[in-house]
């Protein structure tokens, strides 16, 4: 009996030990999985925080040069949304040990201060130099805060930074925000109604703006057979039809026939046989031609494949490839919605990619205005602190999916910062502001 009892006790203890071991392993795995999810969530929150702060800095910089209530209102609405997103991201980062009151307060009030200026402008009250100085101070602080979070993100991505070290870093950012909050203490609480929306840094004015869900250009075109599309694709690449291999069809906004030859892919629209997209996987070597030569080769290529009256607007070079933005020009108006991008290898001058989607979706016959205010009258909408360096005519897209005919003013601020300010030809109000970013690789706008 004693022997059997002893065996039972040993068996029971072994079972308990096994159960405890399994429970321990399960809990460890669960805890590690939870830690991984938390780390990924915080990493994403940090990346989003950087994006929001970068957008806030840009919009504050634009607000310094806005004069009309409409533009100031649009900027304030955007900043309220960005600030809301930033606060959500910040709440995912703080541990509770660090109180981030001043950063939250800055994010809450920054958009409302611009709304305050918008209301002043709507009431025909002057936006004073003191108001603009406050915006300048806010911009400087937003830039400083953005830099701190960008650094945290870079260190985290390089594994030089862990979220265990986050408290002290956020604490430093919190202390630096105390002085800035004093600039906006008189402003009321921000509104709390926000929604998510995407923001982009464009590689040229109004890149990737498809105004229409249906292409007016292609709608009434005849649909091609596969054989006719193949001939069109061969003409685009300047090769024999026999060298092309059919790669099926694609749907989407512009249905296409797709083909390839070695490392080059080409798509032509089912309707009309227009070239829509070209992509080459060719290896790019050391640069042998200049960017100016690349622009010239891109112009020649577009003319060869049937896109006339295309004006080079901006270009950007990266990894030995120069990407040039072309916009359709008519009656001296640069039509930014009708955009085509062409990339040229600086190694051999060959086309590495071409995207005509925006042009094909947006190009249409336009009734250009003839009776509008002159350039001098329109320039009254430009802030007095800006120097106008050049003026042109343009068509720009709007957030509502329509177009505006505008004067395009290239301006420079007192600090040398250059920007494009668009003034509506009819309302004589600012329609948009884009800040120019120059580098050795080309020009970006935001």
To the nearest 5 percent, what fractions of the chain are helix, strand and coil? Answer: 45, 25, 30
Q: 142, 161, 184 — which closes off a domain?
A: 184
State whether 41 and 168 are in the same domain: yes
Are 115 and 80 in contact by the 8 Å Cβ rule? The answer is yes
Range of the domain at 237: 216-362
Most confident of 39-43, 191-195, 204-208, 372-376: 372-376
Identify the domain boundary among 184, 203, 225. 184
Q: Provide the CATH number for the domain around residue 279.
A: 3.30.310
Q: Which of 142, 168, 184 is the last residue of a domain?
A: 184
Mean predicted confidence (pLDDT) in 294-320: 92
Q: pLDDT for 317-364, tens place per residue?
A: 887 889 899 999 999 999 999 999 999 999 999 998 898 989 999 999
- Asked if residue 329 is part of any domain, the answer here is yes
- β-bridge mates for residue 82, sequence order: none
Q: In 3-state terms, what secondary structure has residue 213?
A: coil
Q: Measured between alpha carbons, how far is 242 from 276 in angstroms, rounded to an integer?
A: 21
For residues 222 and 279, the model is more confident at: 222
The answer on 176 and 55 residing in a single domain is: yes
In a domain, 26, yes or no: no
The DSSP code for 1 is -
Higher pLDDT among residues 391 and 39, named by residue = 391
Position 401 scores a pLDDT of 77
Q: Nearest 10 degrees: CA dihedral of 23, 25, 31, 34?
A: -100
Do residue 351 and residue 268 come from a single domain?
yes
Q: Does residue 135 sit within a domain?
A: yes
Q: pLDDT value at position 181?
A: 40
Residue 381 inside a domain? The answer is: yes
CB 386 within 8 A of CB 421: yes
Same domain, 119 and 221: no
Residue 320, in any domain of the structure: yes
Least confident interval from 42-56, 63-77, 186-200, 259-273: 186-200
Neighbours of 133 (CB within 10 A): 12
Judge if 414 and 346 occupy the same domain.
Answer: no
142 in the same domain as 220: no
How much is the mean pLDDT over the chain? 77
Give yes or no for residue 115 having a pLDDT over 70: no
Of residues 55 and 4, more confidence is placed in 55
Nearest to 273 by CA among 342, 225, 216, 341: 225
Residues 302 and 326 grouped into a single domain:
yes
Q: For residues 182 and 229, what is the distance between their CA atoms, to the nearest angstrom? A: 65
Residue 45 tokens, joined:
């929150």
251 three-class SS: coil
Structural domain contains residue 271 = yes
* Whether residue 178 sits in one domain with residue 43: yes
Per-residue confidence (pLDDT) for residue 174, from 0 to 100: 52
Task: Identify whether residues 354 and 403 lie together within a single domain.
Answer: no
Q: Which residues pair with 438 in a beta bridge?
A: 443
Decide if 151 is inside a domain: yes
349 and 393 inside one domain: no
| Rounded-to-integer distance, Cα 63 and Cα 135, Å | 7
> What is the three-class DSSP state of 258?
strand
Tell me how far apart the terminal alpha carbons of the chain are, to the nearest angstrom.
87
191 within domain boundaries: no
Least Cα distance to 142 among 167, 114, 120 occurs for 114
List Cα–Cα distances, 417 to 60, 127, 259, 299, 411, in angstroms: 14, 20, 45, 30, 8
**Do both 355 and 382 map to the same domain?**
no
The pLDDT confidence band at residue 294, using thresholds 50, 70 and 90, is very high
pLDDT over 90 at 150, yes or no: no
Same domain? For 382 and 358 the reply is no
Farthest-apart Cα atoms in the chain, separation: 113
Number of domains in the chain: 3
Rounded Cα gap, residues 120 and 440, in angstroms = 40
pLDDT confidence of residue 85: 80
Other CB atoms within 10 Å distance of the CB of residue 436 = 17
């Amino acid at each position: 009996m004693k022997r059997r009892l002893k065996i039972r006790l040993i068996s029971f203890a072994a079972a308990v030990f096994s159960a405890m071991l399994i429970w321990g392993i399960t809990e460890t795995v669960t805890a590690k999985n939870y830690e991984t999810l938390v780390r990924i969530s915080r990493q994403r929150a940090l990346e989003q925080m950087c994006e929001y702060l970068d957008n806030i800095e840009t919009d504050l910089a634009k607000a310094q040069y806005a004069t009309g209530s409409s533009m100031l209102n649009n900027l304030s609405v955007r900043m309220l949304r960005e600030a809301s997103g930033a606060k959500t991201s910040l709440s995912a980062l703080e541990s509770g040990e660090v109180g981030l009151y001043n950063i939250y307060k800055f994010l809450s009030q920054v958009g409302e201060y611009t709304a305050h200026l918008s209301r002043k402008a709507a009431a025909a009250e002057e936006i004073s130099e003191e108001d603009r100085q406050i915006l300048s101070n806010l911009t400087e602080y937003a830039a400083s805060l953005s830099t701190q979070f960008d650094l945290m993100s870079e260190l985290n991505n390089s594994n030089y930074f862990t979220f265990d070290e986050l408290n002290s870093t956020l604490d430093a950012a919190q202390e630096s925000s105390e002085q800035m909050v004093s600039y906006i203490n008189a402003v009321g609480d921000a509104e709390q109604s926000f929604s998510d929306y995407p923001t982009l840094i464009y590689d040229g004015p109004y890149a990737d703006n498809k105004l229409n869900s249906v292409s007016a250009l292609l709608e009434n075109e005849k649909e091609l057979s596969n054989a006719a599309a193949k001939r069109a694709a061969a003409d685009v690449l300047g090769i024999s039809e026999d060298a092309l291999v059919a790669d099926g069809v694609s749907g989407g906004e512009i249905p296409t026939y797709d083909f390839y030859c070695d490392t080059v892919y080409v798509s032509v629209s089912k309707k009309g046989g227009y070239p829509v997209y070209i992509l080459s996987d060719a290896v790019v070597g050391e640069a042998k031609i200049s960017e100016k030569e690349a622009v010239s080769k891109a112009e020649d290529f577009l003319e060869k494949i049937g896109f006339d009256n295309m004006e080079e607007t901006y270009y950007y070079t990266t990894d030995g490839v120069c990407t040039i933005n072309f916009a359709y020009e008519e009656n001296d108006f640069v039509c930014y919605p009708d955009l085509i991008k062409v990339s040229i290898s600086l190694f051999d001058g060959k086309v590495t990619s071409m995207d005509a989607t925006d042009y094909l979706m947006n190009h249409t016959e336009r009734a250009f205005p003839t009776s509008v205010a002159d350039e001098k009258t329109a320039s009254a909408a430009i802030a007095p602190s800006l120097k106008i360096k050049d003026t042109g005519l343009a068509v720009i897209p709007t957030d509502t999916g329509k177009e505006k005919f505008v004067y395009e003013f290239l301006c420079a601020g007192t600090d040398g910062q250059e920007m494009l300010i668009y003034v509506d030809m009819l309302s004589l109000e600012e329609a948009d502001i884009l800040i120019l970013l120059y580098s050795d690789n080309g020009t970006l706008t935001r």
